[in-house]
Structure 1
C-alpha cells in the first residue's frame, strides 16, 4: 500500500513505501491461512483418516494433530505448503527488521538473536516440508530444533524490546503461554505414546495447535514496534536511534524488561566473562566426575573378594581438607591453587592405567587433591561474596552437568576411569577440556585471601556439609536414581527414567534459582520442613507421589547449597570441610551397609534401614540451618533477607549455562524417547529365546564398564527375553548407574528394573522384546542372609499370555533362607495357570535338595535339561511351552557367570497348548540333532568351536535340541 511521506524532499525516486507493520501483519495472516486452510480442508475431506493414530481412531480420537493435518493428505498438504512458502518472505523480513530495530553499537546480543531467528525460520521450513509421513525422524529432529531456537528468540526479543509497554506486556504473556503449554503437551504425548491412553492424542493435539497460535502470535506483536519503520527502510520515529516517544518513562520500561528476563540480559555480554563461567562449570563437572567414579573403582575389589578387601579404605580420600587445619600448609595450598587443581585431574588420567589396583590409587589421589583444592578455593574466596557465590554455583551446576552427561550416555559418565573408547568413553577429549578449564578457573588469584568468621558453629556447619554432600551425591548425581526408588513395575503408573528424567533437572534448576535469589527462604524452617516432607514421601511412597517428594527434596538440596557452603567457607575449613567429608563418608558407608549387611561387620544392625539414612541426612542438614538462622537472629536480620551481593553480573552467565544444559538434556531426552515398536527375532516361527545372566554389576574382570560387550552377546544370541541378576547399581559405591537403560534402548526391548534401590537387594531385572502387561516385585523370606528379589511378569507373546519369573536366591551360607525362598517361589510359580518360564539363580545342585522344591508338582515347572549336571547357580525352568533348544555360552571376561539360554515355541492352537502342558516325561527329554529341527529354531553358528571374542558354546561344546 502506497503512502505519502512526511519527508517529501528526501523521497524523490521512491516508487512504493509502506509502514513496517505490514511485514508483521502479512506474516501473521499468511501463516495463519496456511494452518487454518489445512485444518478446514483436511477435516472436510479426510477427517477420520487424519484423526487416526498408531493406537486409536475415531471416535476415541476426534481432533487431528498438526503433523497429520499438514502432512498426510492431498490437497491440504499442497495448499499448506503454498501458503507456508509465501510466509517465508515476510518471515525473513521480520527477522531483518527486528535486527535493524534493536542493533546498537558495541552490542552483540541483537546479532545472536537475529541468527537464532534465521535458523528458526529455516528449521520451520524443514519440519513443514519434511512431514512425519515423509521421514518421521527428520521431521521430529527439525521440529525439536525449531522449539530449541525458539527459546533464545523469545527471551531475546523480550530483552531487546524497544520502550513499548504494551508490546513488552504482550510478549511476556504470550511467551509464558507458549512455554507453559509445553508441559501438558509432553504429558499427554507420553500418555499416548507410552501408556496408550485412548483420547490422549486428541488432548495433545489441542496443545499442539495452541503452540502454533502462540508462536504466530508472538511474532505478530512486532507490529506494535514496526510502526517506527517505513519501507524503503527509513526510521521515521527514531526508535532505532534510542529516541523514546512513549508516554511511559524509559527507566520504568527497562525495569519491566529486567523483571521479565530475571535480569539475565541487564548487563552487556562479554565473551571473556562467559568463558570464565563456562570453564568454572566444566571444572565443577570434572570434580563430580572424579568423585562419583571413586565408588565404582572401589566396588570392584569387594566384588572379586566377596567381602571386605581392604581397598575400601580409599573412601576416606575425601577428608583431605583436614590438612587445612595446619596453617603453613593451608597457606601453601591457597597460594598454589593452580597446581592443586591441575593435580586433581589425575583422576581423569586413570583410564590409561591398566592395572585395577593402580587405577584405584590414581583415582584416589585425584579425589584427595580435588576435595583439598575446592575447599581451599571456597575458603580463599570467602571474603568476596560475589566471587564465592560464583564458585559455588559452578560446583553445583557442575553436578547438574554431570547428571546431564550421564543421561546422554545412559547413566555412564563418558570421562570415568571405567570408560574408554571401546565402551563409549570420551576420556581424552574430557581431559583436554579439563586442563583448559582448570587453567582458566585458577587464572585469578584470590584478593585478600580467606578469613575465619567467629559467628556460628563450625561443628554445625560441618554436619550440614556432610548431609548436603551426601544428599547431592546419592540422589542427584543421576536423574534415574529417584525414579527407580519409586518404580514398582507394570502397568506403568509413575515416572520412567528415559521419559521423565528432565523433571529432576528442572527441580534442580529451580532449586538453584531459589538459593541464589531467595537465600533467606531457602534457609528457613519452612523450606527445611518442605525438604523433610519430600524426603519422607520419597522414602515411603512409590509412583508419582514418591517422585513428587523426590523433586521437592531435589529442589531443596540445590537451594541450600549456596548458603550452606558459603557459611562453611567462612569458618575453619579443616573442620567444616574436613569433618564434613568425614560425615559424608560415614553416610556413604551407611548407605552401602543397609544392603551389604551380610558381608560387613555390624551390618545386621542397620539392615534395610534406608529410612535411618534419610533421617540422619536431614538431621545433619538441619544442624546447619539452625546455625544459619541463629546467626541471622543475632545479627538482627529478617528471615526473608533478600539482599543481593554487590556484584551479580556472573549470574546471567550461570543462568545461560543452566538454560543450555536444560536444552541439551531435552535434546538427549528426545533421542532416547522409547519407540515401543520392538520385534522378536523369529516371529514367523512363534519362537522366543529366553536367557539368564548374572552380570556382576556391569564391571568386567579388568574394571571396565561391560554394557557394550553384554549388548553384543545378547544381540548375537538373538535373545528375546532375558533376566539379569546383580543388576542394581543405584548406589554411591556403584556409581548410581542403570545398565538396563542402555541394553533396553540399544536392543529394542521393554524393561522392568525390578525391586528398586530402596528395597535393599542386589537387583533383578527383566528385558523383553514382547510387551510387559503386568509385573509384580517380590522380596522372598530372608530371616538371616541377604534379601532375595524376584519379578513375576506377564508378557504378551504372539497373542498368548506367558508368565516370566526372574529370581536371585540367597547365598550358600544361609540354608534356611534358601529353603524358605524355594517354598515361596514354588507356590508363586504354581499359582500361575499360564505358560511360564523361570530365569533364576538357585544355589543348588541338580536333582538334589531345594531343586526338588523348585521342580515339583507344587510349582508345575520342568527343568530345561535335567541331565545338565554342571550347574550350581543358574537354572531355566518352564511349563506349558514347547522347549526346542538349550545352550550355555562362555562369558569371556565380562563377568564371573555364563549366559544360559533356552528356546521355546508358543503353542498356536488349543491342541498344541494341551500337548505342551501334558508331554510325557520320556518324550520331553528326547534330544535330537540340529538338522532335525527347523532352521529358525537353531542357535547362531558363530559361537561354535572357538567362537568369537572368547564367547563359545561350552560344557556340551554345542547347543542341545529337542523335538517332540
Structure 2
C-alpha cells in the first residue's frame, strides 16, 4: 500500500490526536493511582497504614508509599487498577520519545528507549509485588527501578530536542529535585531502620511521596515535546528531523544539555573507546588488588613466628621503579610494556594456585615488583601527551575505587586476592581471565616515547619533592581508602550508635572519593593550592582526634582531597625521573607501611617503643610528605612565565573524550556499590537459638587475624563452626585487621551479617591494639571500650557491653590480656578488669584471654570477691589463655572445641540460663560453690540445654569436643 503524501494530512487517517495527550493521560492516571490509594487508605485504615515495625500513631502519622499501596483492601485495588491502565500510555510515551529523538547512526536513543522499557517493567514489578507479598523481591525491583531511572533521566535531558528550551529547563529542575530527595530519604530510612528513631519513618514517607511526584512530573514534561506529533504517528513540525524552530541558538541549548549531563552523552558512544576505558580501569583494579594482597601474605609469617621472620623484606617489592634509572633497562621495559603488565597480572592473580605459603608470598611479591615497574614505565612513556597521561592516571585511581567497592561487596575481602579461593567466596579464575584480556587491551597502543628522557620543560621543579609527595599519597590511599570501613572504624566508639556504621554509611566514603576524582580532573589548579591542602590537614587532624560523626566528617574531607590531588601529583611525578619519583617514592611508602605496623607491634620489633601508639605521628608525616609534593607543583607554577603557561595551554589537546567514559565508569561503579549496599543492609532479624529456654550460649575465640594455617581467609570456616555450635554471644580476639599489613579487613562484618548478630568492633585501629570484638544475637544497649594499663608491653583492649537478654540486662566483658613477658602489665590489668567487673550489679560473663594458669597468680584476682566472678569450670586444668567467668546466671554447660586448622586456639563455649523470677536471680547470686559446681549427666539436662551432638567422637571437619571428650553439664 502506498503511503499518503505528507501534505495530504487526512489521507488514510481514521483517528488523529495530538501526541501530548499521551503524556497528559499517563500523568493523570499515574497520579490518580497514588492519590486514590492514599485518600482511601487514610479514610479506612489510617492507624494501620502509619504503623511500622517500631512505632505507630501518634509517633508516626503519615503513611509510606509501600504501606499505602500494598497492605490493605480496597486501597491496594484502587492503586493496582489505575496503575494497570497507566501501563498503556507509559509504553506509548517511551515509544514516542524514541521516535522523536532517533537519529541515523546514533545508538543513544535506542539505549535510552530500552532503559525506559526495562524501567517500566520493573515499575510493574514493585507495584504488583508489594512488600507484604514478598519484601525481598519488592525491594529488588524498587532498587532496579531507581537504578534505571539514572540513565533514563540523564539520557532524556541529553536527547531533549533543541527546539524546546522550556522542556530542557523543567527536566533539569525535576531531575535535580528527584536525585536531591534521595539523600534525606536514605538518611531518614537509616534513622528509622537502624537507630529506631520515633517519627523518622514519617519524614521518610514525605520524601518517598515527593519522589513519586517528581518522577511522574519528569515524564510529564514530554507533553511540551509531543505537541509536535499527531497520532497516526506523523511529525507535523519536523522536530524529529532536528529542525530548530526556537529563537534560542541550538549551540546554546546543546551546551546547556551537556552541562546538565556532565558531558557523558555529548558525543556518540564508541564501543572501542568504551572497551579501552573498561580495560584500563579493570587493569588498575588488578594492580591495587595485587598490591593490597602483599601485606596479608607477608603478615602470615610474623604472625606464626610471633616476631620478625625475615619475610617482611618483601614489603620492598614496590621499589622496582628504581631500575628505570638504568636507561637501557628503562627503554626495554617501555618498549615491552605488554609483557611487563601481563606478567604482573599473571603472577599476582595466579598466586592462589600456589599452595605453599612461602612460595605464594614469593609469587605475589614478584607480581607487585613487576606491576610497579610496568605502571611507572607506562606513565613515563605517556607523560608527553596530557590526555593519554590523564587517562592512565584515572585508570589507576578509579581502579582503587573499584577495589574498595569489590571489597565492600565481599565483606572487606577482595575476591581475587591470593588468600581467597572458591571455598571462601573467591572469584580468582574469573578475575584472572578478565585481567589477561584487560592487560592486552591496556597495552594495545604503542608507547609514545622509547624510554629516553622527557622534554626539558617537564623537568622543572624537584624530582625529590615529587617523590616525597608520591610516598605520602600512596600510603594515604592504601591505608585509609583501600577499604570503605577503615575510617568508619577509626571513629567508632560503641553503643548506642552515634556515628557511621560500616555496612550502612560506607557509600559516603565512595561518594567522597568519586567527588575527589571529578574535582581533580576538572579543577586541578584548585586542589594544588595551599588553601585546599590546609583544609585537608584539618580533616586529617579531625579524623585522628575525634570520634563519631564529627571525626567522620574529617575523614570525608580528607578522602575528597586525597583522590583529587592524586591526579596532579602522579602526573607531575610521571614527567620527571621516574626512578626517583616512583622508586624513591615507593621506598618512602614502605617506610610508612612499617611505621604503620610498628605503632602496634612495638613489643616485637627493634626500636618499637620509640613510636609506640603514635598514629598521630604517622598522620603528620603523611600530610607533610604530600605537602612536599604540593610545594613542588606550586613552585613550578610560580616559576613559570605567563608565556610558558600560554604555550602549555595551546599545546594541550582539546580532545578529552576519554573523560565521559571515565565519568560513566564512576557512575556505574557507584550504582554497583549501591546495589551491594542494598543487599548488605541489616535485616534486624536477630533471633537466639533457644529462646524458649531463656538460654544463651557464649563463646571466646582467638581468631588469629582470620588467616588459617594454610594462609586462606577463614571467615567462612569460622561462620560454619559458630553456627553449628549455636553460639548466641561470642568474643573474638586478635580481630583488628584494619592495617595495610593485614589487608584493611573486618571479619566481624561478614560474621555479623551472615549469622544475624549485632556487632561491636571494639577499640578501633587508631587505638593501637590487636583487637577485641563482640557479636551478639541480643541487642547491645550500651558498650564502652577500655585500654587497660600497659606501661611496658602491648595494649590490652576490653569491651564492657550491656545486653538485653530475654528482657533482662546482662553484662558481657571481652578482654585480651598483655603478653607473658610483662608480668607488671598483667598485674595492673588484672586489678583494673576485676574492679570493672565488680562494679557491675548485673549478671555478667567474662570472655577472655588471661595468660595465667588455673588457680594460680592473677587468676585469684579475676575470680575473687572483688570481681564477684566464678570460673566456668574449676576442674579444667589444661587452660592457659582462654577463660570464661560468670556471675548471677545459671551455668548449665561448658565445652572446648578443637580448632582444626582455622587458627592456633580452640573455641571455648558455655551455656547459661537467664533467671526469670526474682527468687531465681537471688538463688543464682547466693549459690554456694558446692551447689554451683554440681555436675550432672547429659540425660538429666533438658534437650534445649544440650550441646550439638555433631562434634562428638571424631566430630566434623577437624572440630570435636576435646580435653574432656564430651561437654560438661551442671545443674542447681
Q: What's the TM-score once normalised by structure 1's chain length?
A: 0.99
TM-fit CA distance, 1:267: 1.3
Of 724, 739, 759, 1:716 maps to 724
TM-fit CA distance, 1:263: 1.4
Judged with a 3 Å threshold, the aligned counterparts in structure 2 of structure 1 residues 213 and 636 are, in CA distance, closer, same or farther, namely farther
**Separation in 1, partners of 2:712, 2:251:** 60
**Separation in 2, partners of 1:596, 1:11:** 87
Describe the superposition over 1:697-755 as per-residue Cα deviations: whole angstroms up to 9, x where unpaired. 00000000000000000000000000000000000000000000000011000000000
**Separation in 2, partners of 1:852, 1:58:** 55
Q: What's the secondary structure of 1:857's corresponding residue?
A: coil
| Aligned equivalent of 2:14 | 15
**Residue 338, structure 1, aligned to residue 338, structure 2:** yes
TM-fit CA distance, 1:439: 0.3
TM-fit CA distance, 1:920: 1.2
Alignment of 1:306-385 (within 5 A): 306-345=306-345, 346-385=347-386
**Separation in 2, partners of 1:151, 1:6:** 40
Of 465, 480, 485, 1:480 maps to 485
Alignment of 1:181-580 (within 5 A): 181-345=181-345, 346-449=347-450, 451-452=453-454, 453-580=458-585
**Residue 693, structure 1, aligned to residue 713, structure 2:** no
**Separation in 1, partners of 2:934, 2:915:** 19
**Separation in 2, partners of 1:792, 1:581:** 41
| Aligned equivalent of 1:601 | 606
**Separation in 2, partners of 1:557, 1:637:** 29
The answer to whether the 8 A contact 1:162-1:239 is kept is: yes
The answer to whether the 8 A contact 2:761-2:774 is kept is: yes
Judged with a 3 Å threshold, the aligned counterparts in structure 2 of structure 1 residues 886 and 91 are, in CA distance, closer, same or farther, namely same
| Aligned equivalent of 1:959 | 967
Q: What's the secondary structure of 2:459's corresponding residue?
A: coil
**Separation in 2, partners of 1:734, 1:841:** 21
| Aligned equivalent of 1:634 | 639
| Aligned equivalent of 2:940 | 932
Alignment of 1:799-818 (within 5 A): 799-818=807-826
Shifted more, 840-849 versus 261-270: the winner is 261-270
Q: What's the secondary structure of 1:901's corresponding residue?
A: strand
The answer to whether the 8 A contact 1:324-1:573 is kept is: yes
Q: What's the secondary structure of 2:297's corresponding residue?
A: helix
**Separation in 1, partners of 2:437, 2:666:** 21
Describe the superposition over 1:179-224 as per-residue Cα deviations: whole angstroms up to 9, x where unpaired. 1110110000000000000000000000000000000010001111
Alignment of 1:729-808 (within 5 A): 729-808=737-816
The answer to whether the 8 A contact 2:335-2:450 is kept is: no
TM-fit CA distance, 1:422: 0.5
| Aligned equivalent of 2:841 | 833
**Separation in 2, partners of 1:873, 1:962:** 23
**Residue 661, structure 1, aligned to residue 669, structure 2:** yes
**Separation in 2, partners of 1:459, 1:20:** 67
TM-fit CA distance, 1:258: 1.0
**Separation in 2, partners of 1:418, 1:795:** 35
Q: What's the secondary structure of 2:63's corresponding residue?
A: coil
Judged with a 3 Å threshold, the aligned counterparts in structure 2 of structure 1 residues 580 and 638 are, in CA distance, closer, same or farther, namely farther
**Separation in 2, partners of 1:639, 1:78:** 72
TM-fit CA distance, 1:448: 3.4
TM-fit CA distance, 1:343: 0.8
TM-fit CA distance, 1:7: 6.7
Of 660, 681, 684, 1:673 maps to 681
**Separation in 1, partners of 2:181, 2:644:** 35
| Aligned equivalent of 1:128 | 127
**Separation in 2, partners of 1:377, 1:188:** 47
| Aligned equivalent of 1:87 | 86
Aligned length: 960
The answer to whether the 8 A contact 2:295-2:743 is kept is: yes
Describe the superposition over 1:349-374 as per-residue Cα deviations: whole angstroms up to 9, x where unpaired. 00000000000000000000000000
**Separation in 1, partners of 2:718, 2:255:** 58
Describe the superposition over 1:439-492 as per-residue Cα deviations: whole angstroms up to 9, x where unpaired. 000011122346432200000000000000000000000000000000000000
Describe the superposition over 1:932-955 as per-residue Cα deviations: whole angstroms up to 9, x where unpaired. 100000000010000000100000
Shifted more, 690-699 versus 216-225: the winner is 216-225
Q: What's the secondary structure of 1:18's corresponding residue?
A: coil
Describe the superposition over 1:902-945 as per-residue Cα deviations: whole angstroms up to 9, x where unpaired. 00000010011110111111111110110010000000001000
The answer to whether the 8 A contact 1:520-1:640 is kept is: no
**Separation in 1, partners of 2:289, 2:610:** 32
**Separation in 2, partners of 1:9, 1:338:** 64
Describe the superposition over 1:474-511 as per-residue Cα deviations: whole angstroms up to 9, x where unpaired. 00000000000000000000000000000000000000
TM-fit CA distance, 1:770: 0.3
TM-fit CA distance, 1:602: 0.4
TM-fit CA distance, 1:639: 14
**Separation in 1, partners of 2:815, 2:694:** 25
The answer to whether the 8 A contact 2:817-2:829 is kept is: yes
Of 567, 583, 589, 2:594 maps to 589
TM-fit CA distance, 1:638: 12
**Separation in 1, partners of 2:178, 2:738:** 36
TM-fit CA distance, 1:628: 0.4
**Separation in 2, partners of 1:585, 1:785:** 25
Q: CA RMSD in A?
A: 1.3
TM-fit CA distance, 1:635: 1.4
**Separation in 1, partners of 2:172, 2:946:** 64
**Separation in 2, partners of 1:264, 1:624:** 32
TM-fit CA distance, 1:10: 3.7
| Aligned equivalent of 1:822 | 830
**Separation in 1, partners of 2:332, 2:288:** 24
The answer to whether the 8 A contact 1:862-1:879 is kept is: yes
The answer to whether the 8 A contact 2:331-2:450 is kept is: no
TM-fit CA distance, 1:637: 5.8
Describe the superposition over 1:765-808 as per-residue Cα deviations: whole angstroms up to 9, x where unpaired. 00000000000000000000000000000000000000000000
**Residue 884, structure 1, aligned to residue 892, structure 2:** yes
Which runs of 5 or more structure 1 residues have no equivalent in the other structure? Answer: none
The answer to whether the 8 A contact 1:290-1:366 is kept is: yes
**Separation in 1, partners of 2:53, 2:9:** 63
Q: What's the secondary structure of 2:103's corresponding residue?
A: coil
| Aligned equivalent of 2:660 | 652
**Residue 902, structure 1, aligned to residue 910, structure 2:** yes
**Separation in 1, partners of 2:600, 2:120:** 54
**Separation in 2, partners of 1:192, 1:917:** 39
Q: What's the secondary structure of 2:8's corresponding residue?
A: helix
| Aligned equivalent of 1:159 | 158
**Separation in 2, partners of 1:639, 1:736:** 44
**Separation in 2, partners of 1:607, 1:244:** 71
The answer to whether the 8 A contact 1:521-1:639 is kept is: no
Judged with a 3 Å threshold, the aligned counterparts in structure 2 of structure 1 residues 166 and 743 are, in CA distance, closer, same or farther, namely same
Q: What's the secondary structure of 1:789's corresponding residue?
A: strand
Runs of 4+ with deviation above 6 angstroms: 5-8, 638-644
Which runs of 5 or more structure 2 residues have no equivalent in the other structure? Answer: none
